[in-house]
Structures are given as structure tokens and as C-alpha cells.
Structure 1
Amino acid sequence: MIKNLGEKYSPLYFLASLGFGGMGVAFFMIFMHLTPHPKHPIPILETIQDTWATSGPILKTAIVIGYVGMMAFILMHLLLLAWNLREYALFKKTPAYQKLLNSNAEITLMAIPLTLAMTVNGLFMAFATTIPNLWDVVEYLFPWALVAYALTGALALKYLAAYVKRILTAGFDFEGNGGLNQLLSAFAFAMVSVGFAAPAAMSDNKLTVLFGFAGALFFGVISAMLLAVFLPMGAMSMFRYKLTLQNSATLWLMVPIMTLWSITFLRLRHGTFTLADAGAEALGKPVAAHAPSSIGVMVILGLAVSMQLTFLMGGHAVMKKNGFYKSFVFSQENRTPAPFTLICPGVALTVLGYFFLHIGLVKNGLIESGTPLYILAMTIIVVAQLTTIGLMATLVKNQLFPKNA
């Protein structure tokens, strides 16, 4: 594996670690949507054990695949995170780091809090499905998770503040931009937002839910504002000065942002139910029943998937025509972290596909589990996941383990 990159390092290498962590979460979706957990907001070790005891060979095989995939990819995520932290520490000692701080590439620093937020998310899911009786003490863990996400959000705010102050005083280099690179900032804050939304959705403590809710809204609003500013700026730079070949993968950055926003919405929806129940009990009013889904939820998830497919198809057409795949994905001649940007969109489509199928369609009675249409939809999701895994293997081979390293 390449090491001691020095001036050749880029914070975008964190996206390799991010992608592996995201794929670990994608395997967790097997537990989330295929194993029953009626008394818990997410599957835990005990609910998976109960499912194993009563399930047939097909579901047992899926559970095994879920565990092997989740643990393997999260382990790789941690290994690549450690490698990145070491390389980044060396990079900060070089003149190239100071050059980065005075260019559009400063936005690549947002990949650091983005990846760290994924670490917290991935570890929580891994612990929940492997540590016995963890849910008995989970209310004591949620505040620590909120602290972790707050620290990650603070780091993201630090990087963003420095970047915005610089471009407001020195100006933004539209000609040198050549892509949607700046959306990395919206991506990072969306990841922090969805992290805060987790305790808001899973906790029974109203204060924990309130703090999670507040953090999710705060960082979610920042993410939306950054998208509203940087998407047209990026489009303007591309239309006027053309898309830079190396930045072509940034055309897909909208895909993971849509997944994170959608999951944040679902989590906060569940959090509102908890707060509504707590308020009703405090006022002595009857607690209302809450539907697990609705047609409105289905429409919102469907819109998110549609937007993802639009950016994926458009970006794919461009990258196929301009030779990005040939030059940066299937070749070892150009060593750069840029193609690792392609991993998260594949992961994001897989994850949102699970939610759209099961929360949007199955829970609304529009598709029944086990039917040919359901199997077809699951096949499409699995193909997207396997294709992304193949892409990850290719990029690791060509970018992290090149023959001429």
C-alpha cells in the first residue's frame, strides 16, 4: 500500500475510508429491513438472534452475509482511517498544505469531519448488532454520541469558517474550480445532521431527543444553505470554463447528500412521535397511534431516488464521454484520490433503495414482501451494491496498491 505521500497526499483520500464505512452500513440494511425488531427502532443482537432461531435458510444466509460484510467493511474503514490520519499529519508539514489552504482545494478538508462522523455512525451499528444487552444501557450512550457528533460538527464549522473567510476576502476562483467540488461541504454537514438525528429517533428520553433534534436541524440547515450556494456556483464554473476531467466524479456528490437528507427526515419523523407522546402524557392527553409510514413519506423518498438517478445518469454519460473512467478508474497511470468520490454515490443509492422499498412501498401496502415485484426490486438494489463493491476493489487496486508504488 502506498505510504509517506508527503506533498502528493490529498484529504480526498479520506473518501476511501468513508466509502468502506458506508458499505458497512449498507450491509447493516439487511438487518434493518429483513429482520423483525418491533420493540426496538433498529435491529440489535437479541432481535437478530430471535430471527435466526425462527427463520429459514434464505434469511439465515442473508444474516451471515450481513455480518460478514458489515464487519469486514467497517474494519477496512478503520484501517484506512488510521492510514489517512497518519498521512495527513505528514502532509501538514509540507508546503503543499499551505498551498491547499489558499486555493479552492481547501474545501477538501471537509472530507475529514465527514469521515469521522461516519466512524461514529458505523461503530454504533456494529456495536448494536454484536454486543449483548447493549440496549439496556443505550440511554447512557446517546449523550456521548451527541458529544461525538458535536465535536465533529465543530471541526466542520472550523474548516468552513476559514474557507468562507478566505473566499470572501480573496475571491473564488471560478476558472480553476471546474466541478461541483464545493458540495463536499454540504455532504459533510448532512452527515453530521443525520448523526444527531439518530438519538432523536432512537431515544426514549425527551431531553436526548430534543438535543438530537436541535443538532440535526442546525447542521441540516447549514447543509441545505451550502447546497443552495455552491451548486449554482459549481454549475456556473463548469458552464463557463468547462468541467475539469479530474473533477468529473463530483457530478455525483448530490447522490449521497439526498440519502443523508432522506434518512434525517425519517429519523426526525420518528423523533416527533416521541416528543408528541411525551407532551401528551405530560398534559394528561391520550397518546395517539403513529403509522410506520405514509404515502407522503413514499413520495418524499421517491423524489429523492429520482433525483439520485438523474445525477447518476447525467454524470455517467459525461464521465464515459470525457474518459474519466478510463483515465482514473481502470488505469494506474494517474494516481489520485479523485475517483474515490464515486464510491459513496453507489453506497447511497443502495441504502436509500432499501428505505424506499421497505419504508416507502412495503409498509404502505403497495408491494408485498416475497412477491416477484419485491424480488425484482431487491435484485436491483443488490446489483447496485455489488457493482459498487467491484468499483471499490478496482480503485483500491489501482490507486492504493499500484504496481509501480
Structure 2
Amino acid sequence: MFQRAGDIPYQPSYWLAALGAGGLSISFFMYLMWLVPHAGSPMPTWEHLQTAWQADTPLRALLLVAAPGVALLALLHFLLLAWNIREYRSSAAQQALAALRGSPGEVQLMAIPLTLAMTVNVCFALGALFVPGLWSLVEYLFPLALLAFLAIAWSALRIYGRYLGRMLVQGGYRSEEHNHLSPLMAVFAFAMLSVGFAAPAAMSHVKLVSVLAAILSILFLVLSLVVTVVVLVTGISAMMSHGLQPQATPSIWMLVPILTLLGIEWLRLQHGLSHHFSGGASSGTIFVTLTGIFMLQLGVLLLGYRVMQLNGYLRSHLSGRERSPVSFGLICPGVALFVMGMFWWHLVWVGGGLIRPFGAAYWAGIALLAAIQLATLAALLRLTWNLLLHRNVRIAGVDG
């Protein structure tokens, strides 16, 4: 079904296509998370969808859009995931991967555990929404989820350890080769693992499982923060000296999904603390934290957009003839802004009593967020068509 252009060698950046599809699947889940009543459960399940459908309310229209959106984009995620696994294991890719492992671009291999961690999240959402009665077994599933994330975490640490160890032992760092923020891919992967571990920490009623998950979540939170500081200091310094590498332009937006993941991880840990330790954040702390994250994301997006205006990246890769799998990195920032926007809108504005649920102002905010989501979906479909589906047809006697 999918096929990369023959003139573009295989790169780990192709995994970002599957990652973007998985993220968009979760973005449709956000409608169900915030708009479908799910009393007694931290997230909507099959039983909640069934109740909402039988209630014969305007929620039916929401279910007809959101639930298929979750399922169809999850299907696209799995199709792209299977294609990437096949391509990654193919003999044609091995030579390119061998050269990559000896270069600064080796850090791009972190896209693989990043995408696999997203797969676990997608499976969790699909199971809750579409498998009747599965939530009653969730305490048995949490340890399995932890084992899955541990296996992915081990792979991520091996990849990053090999990359960092080679740089530290062999040296050879040259700022003109690092004038971008692509090494944030490692932070992205660690943040995805952190938020994955935080799910059992927030939702498990077994204190031992919750605490173990929280410890692992905090471990990868700390790794994310440390590596972020290193990458931002070195990357921004190199960009100020040599300018941004044009082909790595999407990396300037990578901080946006990282902030969303760490923000959700923080919220999940607060929920777990309130459940098991009588702790947790106050509504004022939630307001300050989520507003700070969302404002920073908007600032990063505006700065990145200005840069892309100046170097023409969006124009050339979305509507022009340029083709690069790195451009799939444009998808996750849009997904992340939508997801964090849903949290910010509901926990700060609605939860704080500033906006009445389901009133005109409420739906205006949802419509604005939905516009961001739909623009991101359109970008994913266009990039997938350009890079993995579009075929150049040559007609004998006409094309020569």
C-alpha cells in the first residue's frame, strides 16, 4: 500500500508518519474524554459510549464523528507502523542505517521507541472504548502496560546510550552539524515514556503499582528535563552562529509536543498523589501550570512559523514539490497544541467556572481547537500522499 520514492533513502523520520496518525487518533479521543460523561472512571469506556448513545441527546452526533475518528486514525497508525517495521528490517535500509549510526543523525533512531510508546497508548484507548467490559479488568492490564513501556524504555536507553557514549568517547562534535533541535527527538521519546508510565500511576487503585509507575514516570521526566537543557543550550547556540539547517526546520517546533506530554504527566502524577497520598495540586496551581505551558507552546509555534515563513519550508513541503520524510515532524506540534488546548480549556476555563459548559462561548473555544486539529489532519494526509502514496506515471512516447 505504502511505498517511498526511490530517490529518497530510508530514514527513521518515516516513523513520524505513524506517530502523527496515532497522535491524531488520541486527539479524537479527547472529545470523548471531555464531553461524554464517565462518572466512576477516569476515562470514557464502551459502557459510557453506549449510555451516551441511548440517551438520544446531541452527544450522538459527537459519537458519530469522534469514535470513528479514533478508530480510523488508529488503523492508519497501525498500517504505517507495519510499513515502517518492514522497511526498517529490509536489506535496502541496512546500508543507510549503518551510515546513520556513525553520524550525528543517529539520534533520529529515537523516533522508533517514541512511536512504539504511542502504539501502547493507542491500544489502551481502543481497548477502553471498543471492548465491552474491558475496564473491569484494568487492574490486571496496568502491570502489562508497565512491562510494555519498560521494554520500549530499555530500547530507548540503549539507542540514546550508544549515541551519547559515542559522542562523549570519540568526540567530533562540530557546532555546524548541530545547528537545529533534532536531538530533542530523544526528549520526545523520554517524555512519551514518562506520560505512559504516569497512566497507571494516576489510575491504578493498587498503591504498589501506582507508586512503581510514578517512580518510573519521574525517572523519565528527569531525563527529559536534563536532555532538554543540554539540547536547547547547544542547539540554539549553534543556530545563532550558523543559522538553522533548512532540512531540519520542523525540529524548531518539537518542544511543543514535549511540553504537552510533560504537562499531562504532571497532571496524572497529581491525580495519583491525591488518590494515594492525600496530596495533589490546587486549582490555582493547575491554572498557573497549564496556562504557562500553553502560552509557551504558542510562543514556540509563532517563532517557528516566522522562521518557516522566512525560509519557505511550509510552502515548499506542504504545497510545493519538495519531498522529505522529516516534514512528518510538522504533525505532532498541531496534535499537541490541540490536546493541551483541550486540557487547558476544560480544567482552567470550564473547571474554574469562567465558561459555562456547552454554552455559546464553550463551543466557540472547541471550534477554534477543532480548526487546529483539522488543519493538522489535512497536513498528515497531504504528506502521506506526497511521500508514501503518490506515484509518478511515465507514459511511453510522451515522457520520453
TM-superposed deviation, 1:7: 7.8
- C-alpha spacing 1:3/1:390, structure 2 compared with 1 (3 Å): closer
2:362 counterpart of 1:374: yes
Query: Residue 300 of structure 1 corresponds to which residue in structure 2?
Result: 289
What is the SS of the residue equivalent to 1:8? coil
Contact 1:295 1:364 (8 Å CA) reproduced = no
Query: Residue 328 of structure 2 corresponds to which residue in structure 1?
Result: 340
2:307 counterpart of 1:318: yes
What is the SS of the residue equivalent to 1:394? helix
Query: Residue 162 of structure 1 corresponds to which residue in structure 2?
Result: 162
The whole-number CA distance in structure 1 between the counterparts of 2:168 and 2:221 is 23
For residues 26-175 of structure 1, the aligned pairs below 5 Å read: 26-56=27-57, 58-90=58-90, 94-169=94-169, 170-175=171-176
Contact 1:7 1:97 (8 Å CA) reproduced = no
TM-score (norm 1): 0.93
Equivalent AA in structure 2 for residue 42 of structure 1: M
Aligned counterpart for 2:387 among listed residues 399, 402, 405: 399
What is the SS of the residue equivalent to 1:40? coil
- C-alpha spacing 1:108/1:346, structure 2 compared with 1 (3 Å): same
TM-superposed deviation, 1:55: 4.6
Runs of 4+ in 1 over 4 A off after TM superposition: 3-7
The whole-number CA distance in structure 1 between the counterparts of 2:269 and 2:174 is 37
- C-alpha spacing 1:7/1:59, structure 2 compared with 1 (3 Å): closer
- C-alpha spacing 1:354/1:55, structure 2 compared with 1 (3 Å): farther
Query: Residue 285 of structure 1 corresponds to which residue in structure 2?
Result: none
Contact 2:5 2:387 (8 Å CA) reproduced = no
1:188-220: CA deviation from partner (whole Å, max 9, x where unpaired): 000000000001111101011011101100011
TM-superposed deviation, 1:241: 1.0
Instruction: Report the number of matched residues.
Output: 391
Bigger shift: 160-169 or 368-377?
A: 368-377
Contact 2:9 2:93 (8 Å CA) reproduced = no
The whole-number CA distance in structure 2 between the counterparts of 1:91 and 1:309 is 42
The whole-number CA distance in structure 2 between the counterparts of 1:403 and 1:313 is 34
The whole-number CA distance in structure 2 between the counterparts of 1:296 and 1:53 is 38
Equivalent AA in structure 1 for residue 160 of structure 2: L
The whole-number CA distance in structure 2 between the counterparts of 1:233 and 1:51 is 51
Query: Residue 343 of structure 2 corresponds to which residue in structure 1?
Result: 355
The whole-number CA distance in structure 1 between the counterparts of 2:92 and 2:274 is 46
Bigger shift: 368-377 or 307-316?
A: 368-377
- C-alpha spacing 1:303/1:91, structure 2 compared with 1 (3 Å): farther
The whole-number CA distance in structure 2 between the counterparts of 1:230 and 1:107 is 12
Bigger shift: 90-99 or 138-147?
A: 90-99
| Structure 1 alignment gaps of length 5 or more | 278-287
Query: Residue 200 of structure 1 corresponds to which residue in structure 2?
Result: 201
The whole-number CA distance in structure 1 between the counterparts of 2:315 and 2:74 is 29
Equivalent AA in structure 2 for residue 376 of structure 1: A
Query: Residue 284 of structure 1 corresponds to which residue in structure 2?
Result: none
TM-superposed deviation, 1:364: 1.8
Query: Residue 246 of structure 1 corresponds to which residue in structure 2?
Result: 247
Equivalent AA in structure 2 for residue 82 of structure 1: A
| Structure 2 alignment gaps of length 5 or more | 394-400
For residues 230-245 of structure 1, the aligned pairs below 5 Å read: 230-245=231-246
Query: Residue 264 of structure 1 corresponds to which residue in structure 2?
Result: 265
Contact 2:87 2:93 (8 Å CA) reproduced = no
- C-alpha spacing 1:55/1:197, structure 2 compared with 1 (3 Å): farther
Equivalent AA in structure 2 for residue 399 of structure 1: L
TM-superposed deviation, 1:360: 1.9
TM-superposed deviation, 1:6: 9.8
The whole-number CA distance in structure 1 between the counterparts of 2:177 and 2:370 is 38
What is the SS of the residue equivalent to 2:277? helix
Contact 1:350 1:382 (8 Å CA) reproduced = yes
The whole-number CA distance in structure 2 between the counterparts of 1:247 and 1:4 is 20
Contact 2:256 2:333 (8 Å CA) reproduced = yes
The whole-number CA distance in structure 2 between the counterparts of 1:358 and 1:5 is 46
Contact 1:9 1:91 (8 Å CA) reproduced = no
TM-superposed deviation, 1:338: 1.0
- C-alpha spacing 1:360/1:92, structure 2 compared with 1 (3 Å): farther
Equivalent AA in structure 1 for residue 98 of structure 2: Q
